[in-house]
Structure 1
């Protein structure tokens, strides 16, 4: 037995039957819903309760992250959009035309995260445009988190359905 067979036996490349894929999916979505525009959501809750310096820290952190995010988008947004579209198209073609399960799994992780990225851009632009602070900023960040969680729930549901279909069809057909 050679070394690459050993590695592929240790790391199952069939993504939807691999426990590590499902752990990664859970970590990705829990992280995405906890960090709202680069700010931990518990900071939003603490600012709501405590106010004062905690709220000022929240506003400063959001301002820094929004300015940084919008600077990057304005500087290289079209290039990033082109690269993301290329990668998603490549994963989609490899996954569903060429039937590569690993590409399907990556697509089902990456595509919904691009929606969250677009949501981040929209929220950052709204915060900058309206110069939000205080209660308005906390409401906007809470709404953003709710939308992110909705995208995450839908993505996990679709991924679970597709993963069950893949596992059942490969199990019936003999893989």
Structure 2
């Protein structure tokens, strides 16, 4: 058995039957839901419960991350968007036209995350424009988190359905 064949047996590129893919999917969406615009959700809750310094820290952290996101979008947004669209299109064509399961899995991870990226920019712009603070800022962060969670639920559902279809097709067709 040659080295490439040994490597490909160790690294199973059939993603939808690989436990590590499903663990990665869960971790990615859990992290996306916890880190709202780069701010940990427990910081939002602490600001709501305690107020005072916790509220000030929360507002500062949101301001820093909103400014960071919008700066990146202003400076390199077009180039970054072009690159993401290129990668997603390549994964889409490679995965679904040519049937490469690994590309399908990466597309099903990357496409919804790009939606979350757009939602983050939209929320950051709204926060900066309105100058939100206090309860209004927490409400906007909660709304953004709910949108991310909705995208995550749909993404997990679609990925699970496609993964089951792929696994059943391979099982029925015999490889």
TMscore range, shorter length:
over 0.9
Count of matched residue positions in the alignment of Structure 1 and Structure 2: 175
Q: Distance in 2 between matches of 1:79 and 1:11?
A: 32
Segments ≥4 residues shifted beyond 3 Å: none
Q: Distance in 2 between matches of 1:44 and 1:174?
A: 50
Aligned to 1:124: 124
Aligned to 1:71: 71
How many angstroms does 1:154 deviate by? 0.3
Q: Distance in 1 between matches of 2:114 and 2:34?
A: 17
Q: Distance in 2 between matches of 1:11 and 1:91?
A: 19
Aligned to 1:151: 151
Aligned to 1:170: 170
TM-score by length of 2: 0.98
Q: Distance in 2 between matches of 1:69 and 1:162?
A: 32
Q: Secondary structure at the match of 2:43?
A: helix
Uncovered stretches (5+) of structure 2, i.e. residues with no partner: none
Uncovered stretches (5+) of structure 1, i.e. residues with no partner: none
Q: Distance in 2 between matches of 1:72 and 1:157?
A: 31
How many angstroms does 1:10 deviate by? 1.6
1:42-71 CA-partner distances (Å, limit 9, x unpaired): 100110000000000000000001001100
Q: Distance in 2 between matches of 1:86 and 1:18?
A: 26
TM-score by length of 1: 0.98
1:6-85 paired onto structure 2 within 5 Å? 6-85=6-85
Q: Distance in 2 between matches of 1:96 and 1:6?
A: 26
How many angstroms does 1:6 deviate by? 1.9
